[in-house]
Amino acid sequence: MLKKLILLILLALLSAAATLAYQFDKALTTPLAIAQDNFLTVSSGSSISSFAKQLEQKQWVTTRFWLRNYGRLFPQKANIKAGTYLIKKDSTLAQLLVQLVEGKEHQFSVTFIEGTRFKDALVILAEHPQIKQSVNGKPVSEIAAKLGIDSANPEGWLFPDTYAFTADTLDLTLLKRAYANMQSQLNTAWEARAKNLPYKTPYQALIMASIIEKETSYIAEQPVISAVFVNRLRKRMRLQTDPTVIYGLGERYQGDITRAHLREKTAYNTYRINGLPPTPIAMPGLSALKATLHPATSDYFYFVSGGNGKHVFSKTLAEHNRAVRDYLSKQKRANR
C-alpha cells in the first residue's frame, strides 16, 4: 500500500513537472503581443523580475510569472544587458532573452554627406532622437577645442561617411570618430601623394580637396579640376573659384553671386586673394582627397559648366571665353 502511494506521488510530481515544463516552453515560444517591430529600452540595473514587469505593463506578455520564474531557475540565461533593442514583431520571449543576454543592441546611424559643412553635421546630430546632446548650441570654436582641432574653424575636418552607434551615444563621440577618420584618410592620402605638388602640408591639401568637392559632383572630373588648380598655383594665378566666394559670404549668400560679391575682399574670395583660402570650405570625400594629391596631367587653366553636370576645360583664356559664351547662350535658350 505504501509503495503504491509513493508511486502515485511520484507520478503526480512527474506529471506536475511535465505540465510546468510545457507551460514554460509555451510561454517562451509564443510570439510576443506586438503588431509591428518595436524599440525596447532596458535600463541599467534592470533585473529579470523588473524586466518581466516591464513587458507585462507594455502588454507584450499576458503575465510576468513565467519570465520571472524562468530567471530564478536559469539565472545564467537571464543575465540581460541594458540598452536599446529592435524587437521584431514575430519574436518570441526566448528569442528576446537571447538578444538581451547577448547585448545585441540596435545600431542607429548618421550620414555626413560629401560637400556639406560642419554646421550641417551639427544639425544632423542635434535632430537625431537617439543621440545624447552635449555640444548643441555651443560656439563652433568651443566644439573645435573639445575635438582637439587646432583652429577656431573646424571646417573640413569631418570625414563624410555613415557612422553607426547605439542609443544615447554622445554627439561629441560621433564628431570625434568623424574627425579621427578624416585624419587617418588624409594622412594615408598624403603619404601616397604625387611628387612636386604645390602643397606644403596635409592641411593645404585638405583645403584644396574641399574646393574640388564643391566644384563638381562628377568624380571622373575631379583629377582634371585638380590639375587646373595646380597649374594656376604654379603660375601664381588666382584660383578664382566661386565656391570659395560663396563660403566667404556666409549667410549673406542667397543663391546668386553678383559682381559686387566677386569684388568684395573676404578671406575666402579667391578672385581677390592669392593662393588658398585659410580653411577648407566643406567636407571633402575620399575621391576629392585622392584627386587633389594625384591630379591629372593636363595643360588646362580654365573650366566652366557645360550645363549638363560636367565642365568644359580650356587651355587659353580665349578658348575659355568662347566656352563661357556658349554656356550663357545655352542658358538663354533654356529660359525662353
Highest averaged pLDDT of the listed ranges 259-268, 285-294, 322-331: 285-294
pLDDT in tens, 98-111: 999 999 999 999 99
Both 270 and 315 in a single domain? yes
Question: Minimum mean pLDDT among 187-191, 231-235, 254-258: which range?
Answer: 254-258
Task: Classify strands 38-42 and 311-314 as parallel, antiparallel or unpaired.
Answer: unpaired
Whether residue 88 is contained in a domain is answered as yes
Q: Count how many domains the chain has.
A: 3
Give yes or no: residues 223 and 313 share one domain.
Answer: yes
- Tell me whether residue 43 is in a domain: no
Q: Show the CA angle centred on residue 153, arms to residues 151 and 158, nearest 5°.
A: 95
pTM for the full model?
0.87
Q: Are residues 133 and 235 in the same domain?
A: no
In the DSSP assignment, the letter for residue 221 is G
Whether residue 141 is found in the same domain as residue 90: no
pLDDT for 74: 84
Shared domain check, 295 and 227? yes
The terminus-to-terminus CA distance of the chain in angstroms comes to: 110
Q: Which of 248, 233, 231 is nearest to 296 (CA)?
A: 231
In a domain, 304, yes or no: yes
230 and 331, same domain (yes or no) = yes
Closest CA relative to residue 34, chosen from 55, 4, 12, 11? 55
β-pair type (311-314, 302-305): antiparallel
Specify the pairing of strand 131-132 against strand 162-165: unpaired
Residues 155, 97: one domain? no
| Alpha helix (H) residue ranges in the chain | 2-29, 48-57, 65-73, 93-101, 118-127, 140-147, 171-191, 202-215, 222-234, 242-249, 259-263, 286-293, 317-335
Per-residue pLDDT at 10: 62
Copy the grid coordinates of residue 178. 568623424
- Of the candidates 138, 170, 185, which is a domain's last residue? 185
Same domain? For 83 and 117 the reply is no
Residue 47 lies in a domain: no
In angstroms, the CA 31 to CA 79 distance is 21
In this structure, what C-alpha cell is assigned to residue 92?
Answer: 518570441
- Provide the domain limits for residue 88: 75-106
Do 172 and 157 fall within a single domain?
yes
In terms of domains, do 96 and 121 share one?
no
User: For cell 602643397, what's the residue?
Assistant: 199
Residue 3 placed within a domain? no
Indicate whether 293 belongs to any domain. Answer: yes
Spatial distance between the Cα atoms of 78 and 298, rounded to a whole number of angstroms? 67
pLDDT of residue 71: 82
* Residue from 113, 308, 315 nearest 214 by CA: 113
> Are residues 88 and 145 located together in one domain of the fold?
no
The answer as to whether 327 is a domain residue is: yes
Q: Give the phi and the psi of residue 31 in degrees, each rounded to 5.
A: -55, 145
pLDDT for residue 173: 98
Residue-wise pLDDT for 41-65, tens only, equals 999 988 999 999 999 999 999 888 8
In a domain, 42, yes or no: no
